[in-house]
Structure 1
């Protein structure tokens, strides 16, 4: 009976199915790609690192660490740091990551170069391998030269890839490989230079877990780290897990949207079938039989929809390596695993049943006599059953989000967020309907009145269409506003008080000469900040080594190994706010030295006002007391510090300077950089305009990926819209035919329908945009700590475009009604 009845309504059941296919496709494709990522990371863990394990440190290695490295037998080593490069051919300059290598690294994976053998010959020939994109940008070729500090290297080849690098990291500071033996001659490493020492090991038979257990704590105590290919692959896996969880949530929202479409469509479908159910019951069919007929149909929809969705998702995952290629440090080999496919099919069936149960309950509780008499309003309302089904739906959403997010709290927050969003949109549509009923414009013309009446007629689609349109608009508008917030944080205004050029690693002897260079070019020095490097030696009377061994102390261990860059001044700046204590700007002789720390450091180090901290300032121990705690705006591009000393303490300590200035245009910026690199090759120049261009490009790529996933939600919303509108077509045919019989012209019917969908499109999209405004304001205030200035694009573009699409879909239903004579349609209905 389910098969026979289903064949008669095949086209409508296909629309139900379409509502869920895209959501299943999105979930399956992301699950499959996540599985592929994990498998690839495990298989390529050695290739990603280029070695079996690495010992690294950001400071000169101690004797103890060097003995460990000698005993293990390092096969290659590297010193890497960020510096300025100059290109004599065209007088260009660029911030690059210099990697001074010794030995045949990498041991696994490929050092891809053009020409192919350049990776093997550059050390012997004494040349450099330069990032391929950088060569294109500056119109350079192998055979040209690159100047790093005091040494000019011939460019041996273009570097296309090296283990561990990504397109994103290369865009910020492209890699340049040079032989280690030339490092000292460059004179780039000066006081304050940030550098990293790395030693690479090839030991395929070694038990890396045992190695980490034995020497890990020893290295930690000496401010060094051990990274194995297995631990690095786990860290990388966790990083991409967060991305896949986010994408899974977007896909799940698309699936939920599809389920709303199923619930709405089944509601209309079952309402039309109630007379059939009543006849079956009169002929002796039981409640179970009549219920199972339509339940089997829904299971079939979910099963077939799940299979089609899983097939589309399987095909779609082949596109993800191209979409995410800028974010992946390796090529992903695609394989098919059956677990996500089976999960997608089960999910399709389960969610179809869950969301169709509420309308299906009517077949259980319908009384044959009442329906035969046409008294639909007197149908028994199964409140308990409806409450139980609603609880089951919410429980399912929570369990699925908990499974994706691996956190009960986050799963609960997501479920509550979905419920609130849906409730607001449902509330808006309900209030809209009630408002029209109460304040109905009786003086309006016939077509306008009739279009408004359609919004609250029996079997109207106002709520489901507002939900479908509103949620899709809400998603894409929120993504758009969030991107605006992120870009606003990195925007540079044309103010001379805001620096856009930062010079780092300026040695004390160079500071005055650099200031003169600025003056000769008509530039003002905005900041000239002294910086001293130091580490913490004791905290509250306990040495750093004692704290490392004490597992009971509640403290983030990252700061025990950190080399802090500290400054001194007698005042707070605009990016700082005093939270606790008193800021001491000047030290008094014979009295304790009071320092000011940032609130995040106070939290991570578990420090309070009055606590004692001893700093090791390049071999000299200095005792201090926490005098104040500041809130620092780290999102600003100003030079900020975790630790501030008062004046009168550090002036004679070994130090370097950071100097900032404002350059009005790119031409003068390039001119300044050329001069500085020529005269002071060790100085690192950060052009914030270039950095922000890169950041904007990264945000564009990220937003493209997010929009690609939001596309599933939006497209599902439109499929729900088409399905809902198509199914409401059968309710409208009689109304349209009766209007034509009474003398209404095709033009009037067209206007009535168009106006109705204009109202629905405007209401849904406007609700979505306004909700996204609220959500974006909360994000800006609570997460980004940034003022939110909404863009007009969602109002000027999204609102009219979505409304027009809704109208076009709505009007497409009228073709058969307008083309057919009223009598023919009435006969078909009979």
Structure 2
């Protein structure tokens, strides 16, 4: 019976199934990709690091660290890496690069891909450089030309295509240049304040890495060094992409929820039409259970088929993800298919079909044979207890699935509450709209205008479902658009010349005035001149750092004790800082206590508060300080921010280096300045924020594309739900339109009635979605991005009329048969 009835109603059930397919496809594709990502990270962890484990330090290793390296059999490869300016004598161009001085056969795992292939193994013995291939192409440089790094000029012997652990994004910011380790001292670039890192790579496949980490890491921490294993690196890398995966999972879940709405609305109207048939079946002896299971079997069948098709579509879709995300990942993804996401997709299709179809299906249980003689089903008993149980099961389903995605009970509960609140607001606005129209009904309007408004609150109206589906779809796409605007606004360049877009690093004291003069000679504006002093924490509130490290009950984060702080001194706050506790100290006179200001995150990680005592080791000199204020720092701003700021009058005579910031109006001025500085001051690194902004904008564009790519499923599912809801309402509207034609209504009148009805639904639903997205985007801007939110007019100018037009077109498509055929023919066809 379920099969026979399903064949007769296949058109309506196909729309029901379409709601399932897209939601399942989104979930399965994301689950498969996440599984593949984790498997690839774990499988390629050695290749990503290039070794089994490494020991690293921000300075030359101490004698104790050297002894540990020797006790482990000596390093199989050694590297020192730092950022510096590089110049190409061929055409005078210059670029910030990542210099990697290597010794030994790095990488120990994975491949160093160069052109020619032999360059990766011969550059150390030949004394040449292997340079990033993209950068060579950018500056029209080829093999055989030379590159100047600091005081030395090296021949370019190869192009660097790929090296373990490098991605397209990191290469775009600072391309890699490989040079022999022994030539690094000749560059004379490793001076005071230079950021550098020494790494010692080991190949030891049979070593218990966890035991090694547990035994050696505490000793290295005390020597300002660290040990990283390929296992810990893979875990860190996995966590780096974890939030991205969670976001994509939530986007897929939104598509799934919209599909659930489509299921509920489709089955609601479908069962409403079948109640008379159910009553007939009961008249001829069918039991409650039989009639209920006839339609439940249809729902399960459609859910199973939709789950299978959606799963298959998800498998095909996940094949495209590695191509979309390849620039974000420092490795290639090998795609494979695992069973769990496939089983989950099919079961999910069946489960969501049953749960979200159960409410309307329950009506069949309470239909009496007498309903055959009744003109309406208003007298049908409403199963209150069963409805409560069903609502509870739906909420448990939503919570369980969100917990599966987020792996956090509190966040899952918050997500469920957010879903319930959003649905409640949209439903409340729909109900309120119907009541307002009914209460203030314009009786003086013409017949067609009144009839279109009547359709919004008369029996069998679809106002609630249509406003929910249209509102949610519009809400999602508008929020994504507004969020993209918020993110991109963080990288907009100022054209006023008041904000620096060039940063000159590692300027030595004797070079400071000459560098400033070089900038001024090119008629460029110097924005700021900062002095930096490096120091470490010696003790906190009288307790030595080493004692704090050994205290297992200490709440002080270990990185605070190991970190080399780069501090500055000034008499005022800057735009990115706000005092949240204490008072700012502008200057200190000789003999007075040194009152410093620390950032919020340092206060939290070091468990510090106002009036706490910190002793700093300033390159061998101990300095006692007192915390006088705590600042909130906006680290996202493209400017120099500091965890520790001293007042004026304290550090002026300490060993220091300097940072100079300037503003350049265009790319040509920036290139000219960089060429001049590289020629005169090879140790000075120039960071062109214009290039950084360009990379960030490119990254955000790609991220936005991925977000919109996933949002497409939610939006497309919303459109399918919309089509299903509007198409399903056709079976009520056709009879009414035929009756109107029978009573003498003309086709233009019927067309106008339908057009106005769907116009009202489209514009109200899309307007609600955009307005709700304004509220959501404002909350995101305030609490997540900490940025001002300036709404764009695009959603109002594009989304509002576009979605309204879509609803209108679908609605008018429904009644085309009424307008083109005789009434009796239409009724026969629809029946």
- For this structure pair, what is the TM-score category when the shorter chain's length is used for normalisation? over 0.9
Q: State the distance in 2 between where 1:677 and 1:744 align.
A: 84
Q: What does residue 659 of structure 2 align with? A: 658
Q: What does residue 738 of structure 1 align with? A: 739
Q: State the distance in 2 between where 1:752 and 1:414 align.
A: 40
State the Cα distance separating 1:371 from its structure 2 match.
Answer: 4.8
State the Cα distance separating 1:386 from its structure 2 match.
Answer: 1.1
How does 1:488-527 map onto structure 2 within 5 Å? 488-527=489-528
SS of 1:189's equivalent?
coil
SS of 2:456's equivalent?
helix
Q: What does residue 590 of structure 2 align with? A: 589
Q: State the distance in 1 between where 2:734 and 2:574 align.
A: 71
State the Cα distance separating 1:756 from its structure 2 match.
Answer: 2.1
Q: State the distance in 1 between where 2:117 and 2:736 align.
A: 74
Q: State the distance in 2 between where 1:152 and 1:463 align.
A: 73
State the Cα distance separating 1:524 from its structure 2 match.
Answer: 2.9
Q: What does residue 482 of structure 1 align with? A: 483
Q: What does residue 60 of structure 1 align with? A: 60
Q: What does residue 627 of structure 1 align with? A: 628
Q: Is 1:278–1:372's contact at 8 Å kept on the other side of the alignment? A: no
Instruction: Give yes or no for the alignment of 1:645 onto 2:646.
Output: yes
How does 1:168-247 map onto structure 2 within 5 Å? 168-247=169-248
Q: Is 1:447–1:748's contact at 8 Å kept on the other side of the alignment? A: yes
Q: Is 2:467–2:765's contact at 8 Å kept on the other side of the alignment? A: yes
Q: What does residue 788 of structure 1 align with? A: 789
Q: 1:828 to 1:574 in 2, by over 3 A?
A: closer
Q: What does residue 50 of structure 2 align with? A: 50
* Per-residue deviation, residues 393-428 of structure 1 (Å, max 9, x unmatched): 111101111111111100001001111111111111
State the Cα distance separating 1:829 from its structure 2 match.
Answer: 4.7
Q: State the distance in 1 between where 2:454 and 2:137 align.
A: 64
Q: What does residue 817 of structure 2 align with? A: 816
Q: What does residue 568 of structure 1 align with? A: 569
How does 1:362-373 map onto structure 2 within 5 Å? 362-373=363-374
Q: What does residue 443 of structure 1 align with? A: 444
How many pairs are equivalent? 830
* Per-residue deviation, residues 623-678 of structure 1 (Å, max 9, x unmatched): 11112222223232232211111222211211001111122222212211111111
When normalised by structure 2's length, the TM-score is 0.98
Q: State the distance in 2 between where 1:176 and 1:796 align.
A: 49
SS of 2:378's equivalent?
helix
SS of 1:756's equivalent?
helix
Q: 1:139 to 1:466 in 2, by over 3 A?
A: farther
* Per-residue deviation, residues 415-450 of structure 1 (Å, max 9, x unmatched): 011111111111111111112112222333333322
Q: What does residue 401 of structure 1 align with? A: 402
Q: What does residue 540 of structure 1 align with? A: 541
Q: State the distance in 2 between where 1:153 and 1:725 align.
A: 71
Q: 1:132 to 1:457 in 2, by over 3 A?
A: farther
Compare 455-464 and 177-186 and name the one that shifted more: 455-464
Q: What does residue 333 of structure 2 align with? A: 332
Q: State the distance in 2 between where 1:141 and 1:255 align.
A: 52
State the Cα distance separating 1:531 from its structure 2 match.
Answer: 0.4
SS of 1:456's equivalent?
coil
* Per-residue deviation, residues 490-526 of structure 1 (Å, max 9, x unmatched): 2121122221211111110110001111221222322
* Per-residue deviation, residues 136-168 of structure 1 (Å, max 9, x unmatched): 222222222222112222222221211111111
Q: State the distance in 1 between where 2:814 and 2:180 align.
A: 71
Q: What does residue 70 of structure 1 align with? A: 70
Q: What does residue 32 of structure 2 align with? A: 32
Compare 622-631 and 750-759 and name the one that shifted more: 750-759
SS of 1:532's equivalent?
strand
State the Cα distance separating 1:793 from its structure 2 match.
Answer: 1.1
Q: What does residue 388 of structure 1 align with? A: 389
Q: What does residue 605 of structure 2 align with? A: 604
Q: State the distance in 1 between where 2:242 and 2:713 align.
A: 20
State the Cα distance separating 1:760 from its structure 2 match.
Answer: 1.7
Q: State the distance in 1 between where 2:600 and 2:117 align.
A: 51
How does 1:78-477 map onto structure 2 within 5 Å? 78-477=79-478
* Per-residue deviation, residues 116-142 of structure 1 (Å, max 9, x unmatched): 222112222222222222122222222
* Per-residue deviation, residues 719-761 of structure 1 (Å, max 9, x unmatched): 1111112211111111122222233333332332222222222
Compare 444-453 and 344-353 and name the one that shifted more: 444-453
Q: State the distance in 2 between where 1:557 and 1:451 align.
A: 69
Q: Is 1:275–1:372's contact at 8 Å kept on the other side of the alignment? A: no
* Per-residue deviation, residues 657-705 of structure 1 (Å, max 9, x unmatched): 1111122222212211111111111111122222111111111111111
Q: State the distance in 2 between where 1:605 and 1:447 align.
A: 72
Q: State the distance in 2 between where 1:721 and 1:238 align.
A: 38
Q: What does residue 750 of structure 2 align with? A: 749
How large is the RMSD of aligned CA atoms in angstroms?
1.5
Q: Is 1:78–1:180's contact at 8 Å kept on the other side of the alignment? A: yes
SS of 2:319's equivalent?
helix
State the Cα distance separating 1:173 from its structure 2 match.
Answer: 1.2
Q: Is 1:100–1:177's contact at 8 Å kept on the other side of the alignment? A: yes
Q: State the distance in 1 between where 2:85 and 2:420 align.
A: 53
Q: State the distance in 1 between where 2:77 and 2:799 align.
A: 56
Compare 715-724 and 659-668 and name the one that shifted more: 659-668
Q: 1:157 to 1:446 in 2, by over 3 A?
A: farther
* Per-residue deviation, residues 27-64 of structure 1 (Å, max 9, x unmatched): 11111111111211121111111111111112221111
Q: State the distance in 1 between where 2:117 and 2:251 align.
A: 42
* Per-residue deviation, residues 520-560 of structure 1 (Å, max 9, x unmatched): 12223221111001111111111111111112111222211
SS of 2:269's equivalent?
helix
- Structure 2: gaps (5+ residues): none
Instruction: Give yes or no for the alignment of 1:636 onto 2:637.
Output: yes
Q: State the distance in 1 between where 2:779 and 2:383 align.
A: 39
Q: State the distance in 2 between where 1:409 and 1:744 align.
A: 58
Instruction: Give yes or no for the alignment of 1:770 onto 2:771.
Output: yes
Q: State the distance in 2 between where 1:113 and 1:746 align.
A: 73
How does 1:672-691 map onto structure 2 within 5 Å? 672-691=673-692
Compare 27-36 and 733-742 and name the one that shifted more: 733-742
Q: 1:3 to 1:663 in 2, by over 3 A?
A: same
SS of 2:211's equivalent?
helix
Q: What does residue 15 of structure 1 align with? A: 15
Q: State the distance in 2 between where 1:734 and 1:248 align.
A: 43
SS of 2:477's equivalent?
helix
- Structure 1: gaps (5+ residues): none
Q: Is 2:143–2:158's contact at 8 Å kept on the other side of the alignment? A: yes
SS of 2:758's equivalent?
helix
Q: Is 2:276–2:371's contact at 8 Å kept on the other side of the alignment? A: no
Q: State the distance in 2 between where 1:780 and 1:539 align.
A: 37
